[in-house]
Amino acid sequence: MKTYLLSLFTLLFAATASGQTVNRPVENMQLAPLSKVTADKHGIIRDQPDGDYRIYVREGRATYAPVYFVDEKQDGIVAEVVFSDDGKKVWIKNIMSHATTYTWVEGDVDGNTITMPLGQMVYWGEDWGYGMRLARVKVNGDIKKYTVETKGSVTFTIDGNTISINDTFGDDESNTYDGLGLVYTDAYEGEWSYYLDYETVLTYVDELPVTPPAGLQTETYSMENQNNGHLMQVGFDGTDVYLQNVTESKLTTSWMKGTFEDGKVTFPAQCAGIGGSFIYYFCGINGERVDDGYGGYTWIYDWPAGDLVFDFDESTNTFTTDQTLLLTTSLNANDGRGEIFHMPRLRPYEEHAGTPKDPKVIYYQTYGQNVFSIAMFEVPLQDTEGNFMDPAKLSYQLFVDDEEPYTLYTDEYSGLTENMDEIPYLFSDKKGTIIEKAYGIYIYQSGFDRFGIQSIYRGGGEEHRSNIGWWYFNEPEGIETVADSKTEVPTVAFDLQGRRVAPNHKGIVITRMSDGRVVKKVQR
């Protein structure tokens, strides 16, 4: 599904940047009446209410119209719902499908009818002094021709495992819509935010993430492949096997549950939890590497995904598989939202002192008239003896020409609070100019003959350094370094500003492939 969603934060920033000011205090706002569930001073319910918690998946239509009407679907987006113990109240989190506010709205339940008061606050921009509230929005053929209602209510019908909104519609040909939307408050009182949902149906999902047994004892393992990995937890309870910290960035505290039998541990496809607006699943998939026609290879998968099966060596307590581990929102296709880990090996982790394998500069490109350069790296997570190194104890230094460390200065890197000549492997400046896990960095100086990187590991109570991996300018070794890199690293795409983007992002995209190659191309 194509997503044109701008974050609410971005929307509010854009509106504020227009030069308008906010004067009216929040105390003058008319808020819809709420129950005794805790709400903040703006009337926003931020904490999950007590009651019967359920997960639903959406179907329906939506539009987002900042400049022109963009047809969206709600399909697959999560709705979290809580019914009060007495069955008379209901709360829905992220009431709008494409506006993730992480807040709740409240409704009254009478039989199979939910009545949801309009006017409820769902968002407040603390730095801007205005927010967003629930409204009925009717659009008549033109973005500027709309009416809003913030009083009254909308209703939903409960029918078995579904909850459906009543009396909404949309016609894309005539651009006429009548649905549930969000409008701004205060200085922008009543202005439509361009979010609109209609024909919404919520379907109950009868599955929840794995909960391990109380008192489960776990052991630290490394999960790794040739050039990627992290530390995780493994627990055994009879023939049941539990894994935690399977992923690196999303749902890192979620658990997987598998079963040991006849030398194999099988993890069926299972719910991993909710991330943002989607239900994620852990699963395994078979795939093969095929020639991509450019001197490298790509992965072709055998969809749908299903069980993840490891061979288990009881003599070493090691798990191995030729499959790919997926965190995904779809078992039927690559959704691009989760994480992929090819051929993971899980083995008990014991900290060792050791010399890191040598890192490489695999990409270096200058943009503009020497305005800036982007460098990308390959930093192994194994030492020269093959032992896994704790990423939290790994760092790297950069060098130009001589063997004195290259310093990153605060006047060049706004995300730094002090000058830095050694970069922790897991460090990011949150600006997109120093990217975590040594994926890459912006360089604002030029005129070098060579550029290098060295790994430093402080595990086992000792410090050890690798050799410096050099990239030579004006010599063929630089190009060969890229072409010869076949190690296994995550596929990551960036734009020219150094920001991570989806692999199908339009424009000039620099993609670090899973085999270590770096490809720059224009995507239309």
Side-by-side strand order, sheet with 507-512: 500-501, 492-494, 507-512, 518-523
Domain chopping of the chain, boundaries? 8-205, 218-348, 360-523
Separation CA 277–CA 1 (nearest Å): 13
Q: pLDDT per position in the chain (524 positions), as tens? A: 222 222 333 333 233 233 332 222 222 223 333 445 788 889 999 999 999 999 999 999 998 877 667 878 888 899 999 999 999 999 999 999 988 899 999 999 999 999 999 999 999 998 889 999 999 999 998 888 999 999 999 999 999 999 999 999 998 889 899 999 999 999 999 999 999 999 999 999 988 899 999 999 999 999 998 778 999 999 999 999 999 999 988 899 999 999 999 999 999 999 999 887 889 999 999 998 888 776 667 888 999 999 999 999 999 999 999 999 999 988 888 877 889 999 999 999 999 999 999 999 999 999 877 789 999 999 999 999 999 999 999 999 999 998 889 999 999 999 999 999 999 999 999 998 999 999 899 999 888 899 999 999 999 999 999 999 999 987 544 433 333 333 444 455 555 444 445 455 444 455 555 444 455 444 44
Distances (CA, A) of 64 to 309, 453, 488: 42, 45, 39
Q: Kindly report the backbone phi and psi dihedral angles of residue 413, in degrees, each rounded to the nearest multiple of 5, phi listed first.
A: -115, 100
Q: Which two tokens stand for residue 411?
A: 């006047």
Shortest CA distance to 348 belongs to which of 316, 380, 322, 325? 316
Shortest CA distance to 133 belongs to which of 141, 142, 123, 144? 123
- Give the position of tokens 């630290």: 220
Distances (CA, A) of 425 to 139, 245, 395, 437, 517: 51, 18, 5, 5, 20
Q: Residue 260, class by beta-carbon neighbours within 10 Å (0-12 exposed, 13-18 middle, 19+ buried)? A: middle
Q: Which two tokens stand for residue 282?
A: 């852990």
Provide the sign of the torsion angle of the four alpha carbons 169, 172, 174, 179, taken in this order. positive
Q: In this structure, what is the dihedral angle of CA atoms 458, 459, 462, 465, given to the nearest 10 degrees?
A: -50
Query: What's residue 448's pLDDT?
Result: 87
Q: What element of type H or E holds 10?
A: helix 8-16
Contact in structure between 280 and 327 (CB atoms under 8 Å): yes
Separation CA 377–CA 379 (nearest Å): 6
421 in helix, strand or coil? coil
Q: What is the pLDDT of residues 73-98, one digit of tens each?
A: 888 899 999 999 999 999 999 999 98
What pTM, to 2 d.p., does this model score?
0.71
Which amino acid belongs to residue 45?
Answer: I
Q: How many residues does the chain have?
A: 524
Query: What's residue 493's pLDDT?
Result: 58
